[in-house]
Protein backbone atom coordinates (compact mmCIF):
# COMPACT_ATOMS: atom_id res chain seq x y z
CA UNK A 1 0.00 0.00 0.00
CA UNK A 2 1.11 3.54 -0.78
CA UNK A 3 -0.07 6.80 0.78
CA UNK A 4 0.77 10.13 -0.86
CA UNK A 5 0.70 12.89 1.76
CA UNK A 6 0.96 16.65 1.45
CA UNK A 7 1.72 18.79 4.49
CA UNK A 8 0.28 22.30 4.17
CA UNK A 9 3.08 24.11 6.02
CA UNK A 10 1.34 27.47 5.71
CA UNK A 11 1.16 30.87 7.41
CA UNK A 12 -2.32 31.55 8.78
CA UNK A 13 -3.66 34.74 10.35
CA UNK A 14 -5.45 34.62 13.69
CA UNK A 15 -9.07 35.63 13.26
CA UNK A 16 -9.03 35.65 9.45
CA UNK A 17 -11.26 32.60 9.47
CA UNK A 18 -12.63 32.93 5.94
CA UNK A 19 -9.19 33.74 4.55
CA UNK A 20 -7.69 30.74 6.32
CA UNK A 21 -10.45 28.47 5.00
CA UNK A 22 -9.78 29.68 1.47
CA UNK A 23 -6.07 29.09 1.92
CA UNK A 24 -6.74 25.50 3.02
CA UNK A 25 -9.06 25.00 0.05
CA UNK A 26 -6.44 26.32 -2.39
CA UNK A 27 -3.81 24.00 -0.88
CA UNK A 28 -6.19 21.03 -1.07
CA UNK A 29 -6.96 21.62 -4.74
CA UNK A 30 -3.26 21.89 -5.58
CA UNK A 31 -2.38 18.80 -3.53
CA UNK A 32 -5.21 16.84 -5.17
CA UNK A 33 -3.98 17.85 -8.61
CA UNK A 34 -0.57 16.46 -7.63
CA UNK A 35 -2.08 13.12 -6.66
CA UNK A 36 -2.14 13.43 -2.88
CA UNK A 37 -4.39 11.11 -0.88
CA UNK A 38 -4.06 13.06 2.36
CA UNK A 39 -3.55 16.76 3.15
CA UNK A 40 -2.52 17.74 6.68
CA UNK A 41 -2.95 21.29 7.97
CA UNK A 42 -1.47 22.57 11.25
CA UNK A 43 -3.15 22.72 14.63
CA UNK A 44 -6.06 25.21 14.77
CA UNK A 45 -5.30 26.22 11.19
CA UNK A 46 -8.88 27.33 10.53
CA UNK A 47 -8.79 30.14 13.11
CA UNK A 48 -5.04 30.66 13.45
CA UNK A 49 -2.88 29.91 16.48
CA UNK A 50 -3.21 31.13 19.16
CA UNK A 51 -6.54 32.95 19.29
CA UNK A 52 -6.42 33.33 23.09
CA UNK A 53 -9.61 34.85 24.57
CA UNK A 54 -11.27 34.95 21.16
CA UNK A 55 -12.15 31.33 21.96
CA UNK A 56 -14.41 32.66 24.75
CA UNK A 57 -16.55 34.67 22.33
CA UNK A 58 -19.58 32.77 20.96
CA UNK A 59 -19.49 34.75 17.70
CA UNK A 60 -15.91 33.62 17.08
CA UNK A 61 -16.74 29.97 17.71
CA UNK A 62 -19.78 30.21 15.45
CA UNK A 63 -17.65 31.69 12.68
CA UNK A 64 -15.27 28.73 13.01
CA UNK A 65 -18.18 26.28 12.79
CA UNK A 66 -19.56 28.06 9.73
CA UNK A 67 -16.18 28.07 8.01
CA UNK A 68 -15.72 24.35 8.69
CA UNK A 69 -19.08 23.60 7.11
CA UNK A 70 -18.28 25.79 4.10
CA UNK A 71 -14.87 24.18 3.63
CA UNK A 72 -16.35 20.69 3.93
CA UNK A 73 -18.82 21.44 1.15
CA UNK A 74 -16.15 22.99 -1.08
CA UNK A 75 -14.01 19.86 -0.85
CA UNK A 76 -16.77 17.60 -2.17
CA UNK A 77 -15.28 17.39 -5.64
CA UNK A 78 -11.82 16.26 -4.57
CA UNK A 79 -12.36 12.56 -5.02
CA UNK A 80 -10.23 10.16 -3.04
CA UNK A 81 -8.55 12.73 -0.78
CA UNK A 82 -8.83 13.32 2.96
CA UNK A 83 -8.11 16.78 4.39
CA UNK A 84 -7.27 17.14 8.09
CA UNK A 85 -8.22 20.57 9.41
CA UNK A 86 -7.39 21.94 12.86
CA UNK A 87 -10.19 23.98 14.46
CA UNK A 88 -11.83 24.80 17.80
CA UNK A 89 -15.23 23.29 18.50
CA UNK A 90 -17.87 23.97 21.15
CA UNK A 91 -20.74 21.72 20.15
CA UNK A 92 -22.37 24.38 18.01
CA UNK A 93 -23.67 24.11 14.48
CA UNK A 94 -20.55 22.58 12.95
CA UNK A 95 -21.09 19.20 11.29
CA UNK A 96 -18.48 17.38 13.34
CA UNK A 97 -18.75 13.85 14.61
CA UNK A 98 -18.30 14.98 18.23
CA UNK A 99 -21.08 16.26 20.49
CA UNK A 100 -19.79 18.37 23.37
CA UNK A 101 -20.82 21.07 25.81
CA UNK A 102 -17.27 22.40 26.28
CA UNK A 103 -14.72 23.85 23.90
CA UNK A 104 -12.29 21.40 22.36
CA UNK A 105 -9.09 21.76 20.34
CA UNK A 106 -10.05 19.54 17.41
CA UNK A 107 -8.89 18.13 14.11
CA UNK A 108 -11.54 16.96 11.66
CA UNK A 109 -11.04 14.64 8.70
CA UNK A 110 -12.92 15.95 5.67
CA UNK A 111 -13.54 13.65 2.73
CA UNK A 112 -15.60 14.32 -0.38
CA UNK A 113 -18.01 16.76 1.26
CA UNK A 114 -18.36 14.96 4.62
CA UNK A 115 -16.68 15.09 8.02
CA UNK A 116 -15.76 11.44 8.53
CA UNK A 117 -13.96 11.77 11.86
CA UNK A 118 -13.12 14.34 14.53
CA UNK A 119 -10.41 14.08 17.14
CA UNK A 120 -10.09 16.24 20.27
CA UNK A 121 -6.66 16.98 21.72
CA UNK A 122 -6.08 15.07 24.94
CA UNK A 123 -2.91 16.60 26.40
CA UNK A 124 -3.40 20.34 26.94
CA UNK A 125 -0.15 22.19 27.70
CA UNK A 126 -0.24 24.80 30.46
CA UNK A 127 3.36 25.93 30.82
CA UNK A 128 5.73 28.47 29.25
CA UNK A 129 3.63 30.37 26.67
CA UNK A 130 0.83 27.79 26.66
CA UNK A 131 -2.49 28.37 28.42
CA UNK A 132 -4.73 25.79 26.78
CA UNK A 133 -6.55 24.67 29.90
CA UNK A 134 -8.00 28.17 30.12
CA UNK A 135 -9.82 27.56 26.84
CA UNK A 136 -10.23 23.84 26.19
CA UNK A 137 -11.36 20.65 27.85
CA UNK A 138 -9.28 17.53 27.14
CA UNK A 139 -10.50 14.94 24.69
CA UNK A 140 -10.68 11.28 25.61
CA UNK A 141 -11.15 9.31 22.39
CA UNK A 142 -8.72 7.86 19.88
CA UNK A 143 -9.04 8.66 16.20
CA UNK A 144 -7.88 6.30 13.46
CA UNK A 145 -9.14 6.92 9.93
CA UNK A 146 -8.50 5.43 6.50
CA UNK A 147 -6.77 7.34 3.73
CA UNK A 148 -5.35 6.35 0.37
CA UNK A 149 -6.50 4.15 -2.49
CA UNK A 150 -9.86 2.47 -1.91
CA UNK A 151 -8.41 -0.98 -2.60
CA UNK A 152 -5.45 -0.51 -0.24
CA UNK A 153 -6.15 2.17 2.38
CA UNK A 154 -3.74 3.09 5.17
CA UNK A 155 -5.01 3.42 8.73
CA UNK A 156 -3.79 6.76 10.11
CA UNK A 157 -3.71 7.59 13.80
CA UNK A 158 -4.37 11.30 14.36
CA UNK A 159 -2.70 13.28 17.17
CA UNK A 160 -2.47 17.00 17.96
CA UNK A 161 0.85 18.49 19.06
CA UNK A 162 1.28 17.84 22.82
CA UNK A 163 -0.42 14.45 22.49
CA UNK A 164 2.69 13.14 20.78
CA UNK A 165 4.96 14.20 23.66
CA UNK A 166 3.46 11.37 25.70
CA UNK A 167 3.27 7.63 25.02
CA UNK A 168 -0.42 7.18 25.88
CA UNK A 169 -2.25 8.71 22.89
CA UNK A 170 0.19 7.24 20.38
CA UNK A 171 0.00 3.76 21.90
CA UNK A 172 -3.82 3.99 21.95
CA UNK A 173 -3.77 4.83 18.23
CA UNK A 174 -1.59 1.81 17.51
CA UNK A 175 -3.92 -0.42 19.57
CA UNK A 176 -6.82 0.89 17.46
CA UNK A 177 -5.08 -0.33 14.33
CA UNK A 178 -3.04 2.68 13.18
CA UNK A 179 -0.28 1.92 10.68
CA UNK A 180 1.00 5.51 10.60
CA UNK A 181 0.91 8.45 13.01
CA UNK A 182 -0.03 11.92 11.74
CA UNK A 183 0.69 14.75 14.17
CA UNK A 184 -0.57 18.28 13.42
CA UNK A 185 1.18 21.05 15.34
CA UNK A 186 1.56 24.69 16.31
CA UNK A 187 4.73 24.56 18.39
CA UNK A 188 6.45 27.93 19.00
CA UNK A 189 10.07 28.35 18.03
CA UNK A 190 12.95 28.82 20.39
CA UNK A 191 16.59 28.02 19.84
CA UNK A 192 17.09 24.26 19.83
CA UNK A 193 13.38 23.42 19.68
CA UNK A 194 13.53 21.87 16.19
CA UNK A 195 16.04 19.23 17.21
CA UNK A 196 14.15 18.60 20.43
CA UNK A 197 10.93 17.93 18.51
CA UNK A 198 12.58 15.41 16.23
CA UNK A 199 14.14 13.65 19.22
CA UNK A 200 10.83 13.34 21.09
CA UNK A 201 8.92 12.22 18.01
CA UNK A 202 11.61 9.59 17.40
CA UNK A 203 10.84 8.24 20.87
CA UNK A 204 7.16 7.92 19.90
CA UNK A 205 8.11 5.99 16.77
CA UNK A 206 10.28 3.55 18.69
CA UNK A 207 7.65 3.14 21.41
CA UNK A 208 4.89 2.33 18.92
CA UNK A 209 6.87 0.81 16.07
CA UNK A 210 5.06 3.18 13.68
CA UNK A 211 6.29 5.77 11.17
CA UNK A 212 5.25 9.36 11.78
CA UNK A 213 4.53 12.53 9.80
CA UNK A 214 4.81 15.85 11.66
CA UNK A 215 2.90 18.77 10.11
CA UNK A 216 3.90 22.15 11.50
CA UNK A 217 2.77 25.76 11.29
CA UNK A 218 4.95 28.55 9.92
CA UNK A 219 4.67 32.30 10.61
CA UNK A 220 4.72 34.99 13.26
CA UNK A 221 1.91 35.71 15.72
CA UNK A 222 2.56 38.59 18.12
CA UNK A 223 5.53 37.43 20.24
CA UNK A 224 5.58 33.88 18.87
CA UNK A 225 7.24 32.53 15.75
CA UNK A 226 6.59 29.12 14.19
CA UNK A 227 9.34 27.84 11.94
CA UNK A 228 7.71 25.07 9.94
CA UNK A 229 10.38 22.40 9.48
CA UNK A 230 7.78 19.65 9.12
CA UNK A 231 9.29 16.17 8.88
CA UNK A 232 8.72 12.44 8.52
CA UNK A 233 10.28 9.63 10.55
CA UNK A 234 10.49 5.91 9.96
CA UNK A 235 9.45 3.36 12.58
CA UNK A 236 12.95 3.45 14.08
CA UNK A 237 12.77 7.20 14.55
CA UNK A 238 15.16 8.17 11.75
CA UNK A 239 14.44 11.36 9.81
CA UNK A 240 13.47 10.44 6.26
CA UNK A 241 12.27 13.85 5.09
CA UNK A 242 12.30 17.44 6.28
CA UNK A 243 10.61 20.57 4.94
CA UNK A 244 12.32 23.98 4.79
CA UNK A 245 12.41 26.18 7.89
CA UNK A 246 10.64 29.56 8.04
CA UNK A 247 9.05 29.14 4.60
CA UNK A 248 5.55 28.31 3.40
CA UNK A 249 5.48 25.12 1.38
CA UNK A 250 3.37 22.17 0.36
CA UNK A 251 5.65 19.41 1.60
CA UNK A 252 5.01 16.25 -0.39
CA UNK A 253 5.97 12.83 0.91
CA UNK A 254 4.99 9.25 0.17
CA UNK A 255 4.82 6.34 2.58
CA UNK A 256 4.87 2.84 1.10
CA UNK A 257 4.59 -0.56 2.73
CA UNK A 258 5.00 -3.40 0.28
CA UNK A 259 7.36 -5.84 -1.36
CA UNK A 260 8.43 -3.50 -4.15
CA UNK A 261 8.88 -0.40 -1.98
CA UNK A 262 8.89 0.40 1.73
CA UNK A 263 9.37 3.49 3.86
CA UNK A 264 9.30 7.20 3.08
CA UNK A 265 10.07 9.07 -0.10
CA UNK A 266 10.59 12.76 0.62
CA UNK A 267 13.16 15.49 0.26
CA UNK A 268 15.36 16.24 3.26
CA UNK A 269 16.34 19.82 3.94
CA UNK A 270 19.74 19.91 5.66
CA UNK A 271 20.22 20.91 9.27
CA UNK A 272 20.87 24.62 9.76
CA UNK A 273 23.09 26.63 12.06
CA UNK A 274 21.66 28.17 15.22
CA UNK A 275 22.48 31.63 13.88
CA UNK A 276 20.62 31.04 10.61
CA UNK A 277 17.54 29.86 12.50
CA UNK A 278 17.70 32.81 14.87
CA UNK A 279 18.07 35.34 12.07
CA UNK A 280 15.16 33.90 10.12
CA UNK A 281 13.00 33.85 13.26
CA UNK A 282 13.66 37.53 13.90
CA UNK A 283 13.05 38.46 10.27
CA UNK A 284 9.81 36.47 10.06
CA UNK A 285 8.63 37.86 13.39
CA UNK A 286 9.06 41.44 12.16
CA UNK A 287 7.63 40.78 8.70
CA UNK A 288 4.46 39.15 10.00
CA UNK A 289 3.87 41.59 12.87
CA UNK A 290 4.14 44.54 10.48
CA UNK A 291 2.32 42.87 7.59
CA UNK A 292 -0.50 41.16 9.47
CA UNK A 293 -1.23 44.37 11.38
CA UNK A 294 -1.13 46.34 8.11
CA UNK A 295 1.51 48.91 8.97
CA UNK A 296 2.95 50.64 5.88
CA UNK A 297 6.48 50.47 7.26
CA UNK A 298 8.68 51.01 10.30
CA UNK A 299 11.03 53.59 11.74
CA UNK A 300 13.63 53.43 14.47
CA UNK A 301 16.16 55.55 16.25
CA UNK A 302 19.61 54.76 14.84
CA UNK A 303 22.15 55.70 17.49
CA UNK A 304 25.41 54.41 16.05
CA UNK A 305 25.33 51.62 18.66
CA UNK A 306 25.14 47.86 18.25
CA UNK A 307 21.50 47.31 19.25
CA UNK A 308 19.89 49.77 16.84
CA UNK A 309 22.28 48.63 14.10
CA UNK A 310 21.13 45.02 14.49
CA UNK A 311 17.46 46.03 14.54
CA UNK A 312 17.94 48.06 11.35
CA UNK A 313 19.56 45.11 9.57
CA UNK A 314 16.73 42.79 10.66
CA UNK A 315 14.07 45.28 9.59
CA UNK A 316 15.57 45.73 6.12
CA UNK A 317 15.83 41.96 5.61
CA UNK A 318 12.21 41.62 6.74
CA UNK A 319 10.61 44.50 4.84
CA UNK A 320 13.06 45.85 2.28
CA UNK A 321 14.73 49.27 2.47
CA UNK A 322 11.78 51.21 1.07
CA UNK A 323 9.67 50.44 4.15
CA UNK A 324 12.33 51.30 6.73
CA UNK A 325 13.30 54.77 8.00
CA UNK A 326 16.21 55.47 10.36
CA UNK A 327 16.43 58.62 12.49
CA UNK A 328 19.64 59.76 14.17
CA UNK A 329 18.95 62.12 17.10
CA UNK A 330 22.27 63.41 18.45
CA UNK A 331 22.52 65.07 21.85
CA UNK A 332 25.37 67.15 23.30
CA UNK A 333 26.97 63.86 24.44
CA UNK A 334 26.80 62.03 21.10
CA UNK A 335 30.27 61.20 19.78
CA UNK A 336 31.09 62.13 16.20
CA UNK A 337 31.77 58.50 15.37
CA UNK A 338 28.20 57.62 16.37
CA UNK A 339 26.49 59.75 13.73
CA UNK A 340 29.20 58.95 11.20
CA UNK A 341 28.63 55.22 11.69
CA UNK A 342 24.84 55.64 11.67
CA UNK A 343 25.00 57.60 8.41
CA UNK A 344 27.36 54.98 6.95
CA UNK A 345 25.06 52.08 7.84
CA UNK A 346 21.94 53.76 6.51
CA UNK A 347 23.77 54.33 3.25
CA UNK A 348 24.89 50.71 3.03
CA UNK A 349 21.30 49.48 3.38
CA UNK A 350 19.67 52.21 1.30
CA UNK A 351 17.08 53.32 3.85
CA UNK A 352 15.73 56.81 4.37
CA UNK A 353 17.91 58.53 6.94
CA UNK A 354 17.23 61.71 8.92
CA UNK A 355 19.30 63.59 11.50
CA UNK A 356 17.32 65.57 14.08
CA UNK A 357 19.31 67.13 16.90
CA UNK A 358 17.71 67.00 20.34
CA UNK A 359 20.04 69.64 21.80
CA UNK A 360 17.52 72.53 21.59
CA UNK A 361 14.77 70.50 23.25
CA UNK A 362 17.15 69.23 25.93
CA UNK A 363 18.23 72.77 26.81
CA UNK A 364 14.60 73.89 26.85
CA UNK A 365 13.68 71.15 29.33
CA UNK A 366 16.60 72.01 31.60
CA UNK A 367 15.68 75.70 31.50
CA UNK A 368 12.04 74.96 32.28
CA UNK A 369 12.99 72.74 35.23
CA UNK A 370 15.88 74.85 36.53
CA UNK A 371 13.84 76.43 39.32
CA UNK A 372 12.32 73.14 40.43
CA UNK A 373 15.73 71.41 40.35
CA UNK A 374 17.68 74.23 42.02
CA UNK A 375 20.43 72.97 44.32
CA UNK A 376 20.44 69.45 42.87
CA UNK A 377 23.19 68.02 40.67
CA UNK A 378 22.49 66.46 37.29
CA UNK A 379 21.86 62.71 37.47
CA UNK A 380 19.83 60.03 35.69
CA UNK A 381 16.94 62.50 35.50
CA UNK A 382 18.67 64.46 32.74
CA UNK A 383 19.71 61.22 31.04
CA UNK A 384 16.09 60.08 30.95
CA UNK A 385 14.92 63.43 29.60
CA UNK A 386 17.12 62.88 26.54
CA UNK A 387 15.69 59.40 25.98
CA UNK A 388 12.15 60.72 26.34
CA UNK A 389 12.75 63.54 23.87
CA UNK A 390 13.87 60.93 21.34
CA UNK A 391 10.86 58.75 22.09
CA UNK A 392 8.54 61.73 21.58
CA UNK A 393 10.11 62.59 18.23
CA UNK A 394 9.88 59.02 16.97
CA UNK A 395 6.25 58.72 18.04
CA UNK A 396 5.47 62.04 16.34
CA UNK A 397 6.94 60.74 13.08
CA UNK A 398 4.98 57.52 13.56
CA UNK A 399 1.72 59.43 14.04
CA UNK A 400 2.35 61.65 11.04
CA UNK A 401 3.41 58.98 8.55
CA UNK A 402 1.75 55.82 9.95
CA UNK A 403 4.93 53.78 10.29
CA UNK A 404 5.40 51.74 13.46
CA UNK A 405 8.31 52.47 15.79
CA UNK A 406 10.65 49.54 16.42
CA UNK A 407 12.34 49.70 19.80
CA UNK A 408 15.95 48.57 20.06
CA UNK A 409 16.35 47.33 23.65
CA UNK A 410 17.83 43.88 24.28
CA UNK A 411 17.10 41.22 26.90
CA UNK A 412 19.97 42.28 29.16
CA UNK A 413 18.45 45.75 29.36
CA UNK A 414 14.91 44.44 29.83
CA UNK A 415 16.12 42.26 32.69
CA UNK A 416 17.99 44.96 34.60
CA UNK A 417 15.86 48.00 33.77
CA UNK A 418 18.70 49.66 31.84
CA UNK A 419 16.10 51.42 29.70
CA UNK A 420 13.81 54.44 30.00
CA UNK A 421 10.05 54.30 30.23
CA UNK A 422 8.49 56.55 27.57
CA UNK A 423 11.96 56.95 26.09
CA UNK A 424 13.87 54.17 24.35
CA UNK A 425 11.07 51.80 25.42
CA UNK A 426 8.47 53.80 23.45
CA UNK A 427 7.31 51.98 20.34
CA UNK A 428 5.17 49.25 18.89
CA UNK A 429 7.43 46.20 18.63
CA UNK A 430 10.61 45.18 20.47
CA UNK A 431 12.59 43.21 17.90
CA UNK A 432 15.51 42.01 20.05
CA UNK A 433 13.69 41.99 23.39
CA UNK A 434 14.65 38.32 23.91
CA UNK A 435 18.26 38.62 22.70
CA UNK A 436 20.91 39.10 25.43
CA UNK A 437 23.71 41.54 24.69
CA UNK A 438 26.38 38.96 23.90
CA UNK A 439 23.99 37.33 21.41
CA UNK A 440 23.41 40.76 19.86
CA UNK A 441 27.13 41.03 19.15
CA UNK A 442 27.24 37.46 17.80
CA UNK A 443 24.33 38.04 15.44
CA UNK A 444 25.80 41.32 14.19
CA UNK A 445 29.00 39.47 13.28
CA UNK A 446 27.00 36.66 11.66
CA UNK A 447 24.97 39.07 9.56
CA UNK A 448 28.13 40.80 8.37
CA UNK A 449 29.37 37.41 7.15
CA UNK A 450 26.08 36.39 5.50
CA UNK A 451 23.53 38.07 3.26
CA UNK A 452 20.56 35.65 3.42
CA UNK A 453 18.00 38.05 1.90
CA UNK A 454 20.23 39.81 -0.61
CA UNK A 455 19.86 43.24 0.97
CA UNK A 456 23.55 44.02 1.29
CA UNK A 457 26.81 42.52 2.44
CA UNK A 458 28.47 43.71 5.66
CA UNK A 459 25.67 46.15 6.53
CA UNK A 460 27.02 46.98 10.00
CA UNK A 461 30.20 49.13 10.16
CA UNK A 462 32.89 47.24 12.04
CA UNK A 463 33.42 50.06 14.51
CA UNK A 464 29.84 49.69 15.75
CA UNK A 465 30.64 46.09 16.70
CA UNK A 466 34.04 46.72 18.28
CA UNK A 467 33.55 49.95 20.27
CA UNK A 468 32.46 49.73 23.95
CA UNK A 469 28.66 50.04 24.25
CA UNK A 470 27.37 53.36 25.59
CA UNK A 471 24.00 55.06 26.03
CA UNK A 472 25.79 58.41 25.45
CA UNK A 473 23.61 60.26 27.92
CA UNK A 474 26.49 61.82 29.87
CA UNK A 475 30.18 62.51 29.18
CA UNK A 476 32.41 59.44 28.64
CA UNK A 477 29.63 57.01 29.61
CA UNK A 478 29.86 53.25 29.03
CA UNK A 479 27.36 50.53 29.91
CA UNK A 480 29.83 48.91 32.27
CA UNK A 481 29.66 51.99 34.50
CA UNK A 482 26.28 50.70 35.66
CA UNK A 483 26.33 46.97 34.89
CA UNK A 484 28.70 44.00 35.29
CA UNK A 485 30.55 42.91 32.11
CA UNK A 486 27.99 41.59 29.66
CA UNK A 487 29.42 38.08 29.57
CA UNK A 488 28.87 37.93 33.35
CA UNK A 489 25.52 39.73 33.29
CA UNK A 490 24.05 37.55 30.55
CA UNK A 491 25.17 34.33 32.22
CA UNK A 492 23.54 35.33 35.52
CA UNK A 493 20.32 36.36 33.76
CA UNK A 494 20.18 33.07 31.87
CA UNK A 495 20.72 30.97 34.98
CA UNK A 496 18.27 32.90 37.15
CA UNK A 497 15.57 33.87 34.67
CA UNK A 498 15.59 31.10 32.04
CA UNK A 499 16.76 28.14 34.15
CA UNK A 500 15.26 29.11 37.54
CA UNK A 501 18.56 28.52 39.37
CA UNK A 502 18.79 29.83 42.90
CA UNK A 503 21.12 32.62 43.96
CA UNK A 504 23.17 30.09 45.95
CA UNK A 505 23.51 27.81 42.92
CA UNK A 506 24.67 30.67 40.69
CA UNK A 507 27.26 31.76 43.25
CA UNK A 508 28.40 28.14 43.57
CA UNK A 509 28.92 28.09 39.80
CA UNK A 510 31.67 30.69 40.21
CA UNK A 511 29.95 34.07 40.01
CA UNK A 512 30.60 36.67 42.69
CA UNK A 513 27.91 36.98 45.33
CA UNK A 514 27.80 40.76 44.91
CA UNK A 515 27.19 40.49 41.13
CA UNK A 516 24.52 37.82 41.58
CA UNK A 517 22.73 39.76 44.33
CA UNK A 518 22.86 42.95 42.31
CA UNK A 519 21.60 41.44 39.05
CA UNK A 520 18.81 39.38 40.59
CA UNK A 521 17.64 42.40 42.57
CA UNK A 522 17.55 44.47 39.39
CA UNK A 523 15.47 41.77 37.70
CA UNK A 524 12.99 41.86 40.56
CA UNK A 525 12.56 45.62 40.98
CA UNK A 526 12.16 46.35 37.25
CA UNK A 527 9.09 44.23 36.65
CA UNK A 528 7.01 47.40 36.40
CA UNK A 529 9.04 48.51 33.39
CA UNK A 530 8.70 45.21 31.57
CA UNK A 531 4.91 45.30 32.01
CA UNK A 532 4.92 48.55 30.02
CA UNK A 533 7.29 47.39 27.27
CA UNK A 534 6.02 46.59 23.77
CA UNK A 535 5.73 42.94 22.69
CA UNK A 536 8.82 41.35 21.20
CA UNK A 537 9.90 38.18 19.44
CA UNK A 538 10.40 35.12 21.65
CA UNK A 539 13.51 33.16 20.65
CA UNK A 540 14.61 31.59 23.96
CA UNK A 541 12.85 28.97 26.04
CA UNK A 542 11.77 31.75 28.41
CA UNK A 543 11.22 35.34 27.45
CA UNK A 544 9.97 38.40 29.29
CA UNK A 545 6.52 37.82 27.85
CA UNK A 546 3.77 35.27 28.35
CA UNK A 547 6.11 32.80 30.04
CA UNK A 548 7.33 35.28 32.71
CA UNK A 549 4.55 36.19 35.12
CA UNK A 550 5.81 37.79 38.32
CA UNK A 551 3.99 40.34 40.48
CA UNK A 552 5.09 43.96 40.33
CA UNK A 553 4.44 44.49 44.04
CA UNK A 554 6.67 41.81 45.56
CA UNK A 555 8.85 41.75 48.68
CA UNK A 556 10.06 38.17 48.39
CA UNK A 557 13.83 37.75 48.28
CA UNK A 558 15.55 34.38 48.35
3-class DSSP assignment, residue 216:
strand
316 CB-near residues (< 8 Å, 6+ apart): 324, 349, 350, 351, 455, 456, 459
Which DSSP letter does residue 141 get?
-
Residues classed as catalytic: 43, 121, 161
Strand ordering across the sheet containing 82-89: 114-120, 104-111, 82-89, 38-40, 2-9, 249-257, 262-266
Residue 400 region by backbone torsions, left for phi larger than 0, else alpha for psi between -120 and 50, else beta: alpha
3-class DSSP assignment, residue 293:
coil
Torsion angles phi and psi, residue 135, rounded to 5:
-110, -30
Torsion angles phi and psi, residue 11, rounded to 5:
-105, 105
Measured CA to CA, the distance from residue 2 to residue 311 in angstroms comes to 48
- Report which of 50, 40, 47, 29 is spatially closest to residue 7, judged by C-alpha positions: 40
Measured CA to CA, the distance from residue 129 to residue 161 in angstroms comes to 14
The interaxial angle of helices 306-319 and 336-349, nearest 10 deg, is: 10
Q: Quick check: 180 and 154 in contact, CB under 8 A?
A: yes
Q: At 327, which helix (H) or strand (E)?
A: strand 324-328
Measured CA to CA, the distance from residue 44 to residue 132 in angstroms comes to 12
Measure Cα distances from 218 to 13, 129, 229, 243, 449 in Å: 11, 17, 8, 11, 26
Q: Quick check: 227 and 246 in contact, CB under 8 A?
A: yes
- Report which of 515, 536, 306, 508 is spatially closest to residue 431, judged by C-alpha positions: 536
Measured CA to CA, the distance from residue 161 to residue 250 in angstroms comes to 19
Amino acid sequence: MTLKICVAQLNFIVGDINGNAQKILDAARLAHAQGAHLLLTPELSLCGYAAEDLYLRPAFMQACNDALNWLTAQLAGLQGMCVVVGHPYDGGQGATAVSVTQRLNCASVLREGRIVATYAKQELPNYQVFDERRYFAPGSHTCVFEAGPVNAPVRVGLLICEDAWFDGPALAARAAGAQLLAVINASPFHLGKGGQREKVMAERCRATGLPLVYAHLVGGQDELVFEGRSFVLDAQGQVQGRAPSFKETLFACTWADGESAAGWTARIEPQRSEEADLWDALVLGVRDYVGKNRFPGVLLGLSGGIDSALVLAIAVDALGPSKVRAVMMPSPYTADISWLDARDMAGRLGVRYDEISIAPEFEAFKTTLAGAFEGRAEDSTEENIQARIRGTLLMALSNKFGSMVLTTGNKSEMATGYCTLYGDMAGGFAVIKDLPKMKVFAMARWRNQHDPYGTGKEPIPERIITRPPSAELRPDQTDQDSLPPYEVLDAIIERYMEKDQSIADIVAAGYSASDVERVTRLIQINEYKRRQAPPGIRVSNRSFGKDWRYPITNRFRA
